Amino acid sequence: MRPNKIKQMWRDGKYVTLGWLSVSHGFTAEVMARQGFDALCVDLQHGTSEMNDVGPLLQAISQTDTAPVVRVAWNEPATIMKALDLGAYGIIVPLVNTAQEAAKAVAACRYPPVGIRSSGPVRAIHYGGADYVAKANDEIVVMAMIETKEGLENLDAICATPGLDAVYIGPADLSFALGLTPRGDNPDPLHLATCDKILKSAHKHGIKCVMHCASAAFAAGAVKRGFDMVMLTSDLSCMIAGARQQLDELKAKTS
């Protein structure tokens, strides 16, 4: 089976860079995949993509060695299994509140006898290789998002879930949970301390921790604090930032 680049890098003690696809277009996905991210995520929760977009987007990503990841909209086994069958090598599950919910997500990502995933890797076997079914349980990465009050209360139990590879911090919803205004790269001391608490719990239980960032500066700080993966930027954010930069420069040079 094609090795999972994310797991390879973690085994080598390296941090992983993650890009984000908010736009449901194959060319955008292809361009982002060619920029050098270690992994690239199709966002079904808040992006413009629907399930029928996932296959073509993963095909675009697979032209490169970038690892394909999908954030599902909900902890729903059928959607998780479908994304995996289409070739996702990582699954991000939002709003995980309990160890039971984390275990449900893990089970959907693993074939029996350790999980409940149905056998039918319609595209994944072509992308991953003929021995996909035999080795997928060891290669697929499953990440549970910690971003609610209940999730924080059950943090240690979630991190101790057998088969869970990582917890993923959703900073905006985490801000809600802390009574703060949602924003990217939140510098609030309470928010930073809570993120470090999540990181510490993850490492204590032998799993990885991921930080969703909005800038290289904040992502670099997260790497120095010990985070194992950083989501750096999205296609939409880059388009907005690039357009604004050019417009601002034009106005500055002509005013």
Catalytic residue set: 46
The closest alpha carbon to 103, from 158, 45, 141, belongs to: 158
Question: DSSP letter string over the chain?
Answer: ----HHHHHHHTT--EEEEEE-S--HHHHHHHHTTT-SEEEEESSSSS--HHHHHHHHHHHTTSSPEEEEE-SSS-HHHHHHHHHTT-SEEEE----SHHHHHHHHHHHS-TTTS-PPS--TTHHHHH-TTHHHHHHHH-EEEEEE-SHHHHHTHHHHHT-TT--EEEE-HHHHHHHTT----SS---HHHHHHHHHHHHHHHHTT-EEEEE-SSHHHHHHHHHHT-SEEEEEEHHHHHHHHHHHHHHHHHHHH-
Find tokens 């991953």 and name the residue. 128
Number of CB atoms found within 10 A of residue 224's CB: 9
**183 contacts 172 by C-beta, under 8 angstroms:** yes
Answer for the pair 96, 151: CB distance below 8 angstroms, yes or no: yes
